[in-house]
Amino acid sequence: MLQFDFMRYAFIAGIFISLICGVMGTFVVARQTSFFTHTLSEIGFSGAAFGIFLGISPLLGMIIFTMASALFIGISGDRLSRRETSISLFSGIFIGLGILFLSLSSKQSSYATNILFGSIVGINIGNLYSLVALSLLILIVIALLFRQLAYNSFDVTGSQYNQHLNLLTSIVFLGLLALTISVTSQIIGSLLIFVLLTIPASSAKFYTASLWKMIFLSTIFSLVGIWAGLYFSYITNWPVTFFITMIEALIYGSALIRHQLQVSKFSFKN
């Protein structure tokens, strides 16, 4: 299987995608903004369609749309992004706009399905380089702002009063999230990036209460899903996205069951 270039690229891409999803995902889950992450990937789809419509690069369209939304949400407050109505409203508006832009442009919708579902086995060496560059950029920014981000994400109220430049930290984080979604959904699709940004980190928090272990476990859960998914996809010829999503769901399910068993054992003792 590894004699094929595209499989090697996919396995390498898996490492970097797991790294950013492990780190970003831990913060996404702490901030309880999973659904905003979902909305952001739909906004990305709309932005790509807008890019095609204008004749500029779809990636640029995506970055413009997702960054603008991140800035808007950052300034108007995280609370807005957790409100159910605003989530449904934004999702609806942006999917609608995306469809409009696609139909106005002469291009066919194959590109749209690519953005939504992507294909990790379809990537070339150029995609791989841009993914590696982006991952390093995100990881470096996070390393520099780690303490700011951790306080801001895990203690919204406390950091609001006691942290210098706290609002700016939120905006930078949302900007990084927009960038992550824009670039990775070109490669693996916005559906999969949403799963990888939320499920592994949600599973990890059932196993550990330490921040670093959470990041480590989320990364491992992503990597296991991607690598095993690639392998199963190779031997069955079924879509790799299907396998990755199912494996992540299994990891989450078993973490949840284990957690429930522990909780009932604990309350029984008391």
Q: How many other C-beta atoms are found inside a 10 Å radius of the C-beta of residue 158?
A: 12
Q: How many other C-beta atoms are found inside a 10 Å radius of the C-beta of residue 162?
A: 10
Nearest to 134 by CA among 59, 236, 224, 30: 59
Q: Which amino acid is at 54?
A: L
* Residue 264 touching another protein (CB under 8 A): no
* Residue 162 touching another protein (CB under 8 A): yes
Per-residue interface string for the shown chain with another protein, residues 107-136, x marking contact by CB under 8 A? ------------------------------
* Residue 232 touching another protein (CB under 8 A): no
Q: Which secondary-structure segment (H or E) carries 162?
A: helix 156-162
Separation between Cα atoms, residue 123 and residue 206, nearest integer Å: 34
Nearer to another protein, 30 or 70 (CB): 30
Backbone torsions φ then ψ of 152, nearest 5 degrees: -60, -35
Give the residue, chosen from 72, 117, 151, 216, that forms a contact with another protein under the rule CB under 8 A: 151
Nearest to 197 by CA among 155, 137, 245, 158: 245
Q: Are 170 and 75 in contact (CB under 8 A)?
A: no
* Residue 140 touching another protein (CB under 8 A): no
Considering the complex, what minimum distance in angstroms separates the CB of residue 219 from another protein? 15
Residues 200-219 close enough to bind another protein by CB under 8 A: 205, 209-211, 214
Give the residue, chosen from 3, 85, 161, 235, that forms a contact with another protein under the rule CB under 8 A: 161
Considering the complex, what minimum distance in angstroms separates the CB of residue 66 from another protein? 26
- Contacts to another protein by CB under 8 A: 29-30, 143-144, 146-148, 150-151, 154-159, 161-162, 164, 205, 209-211, 214
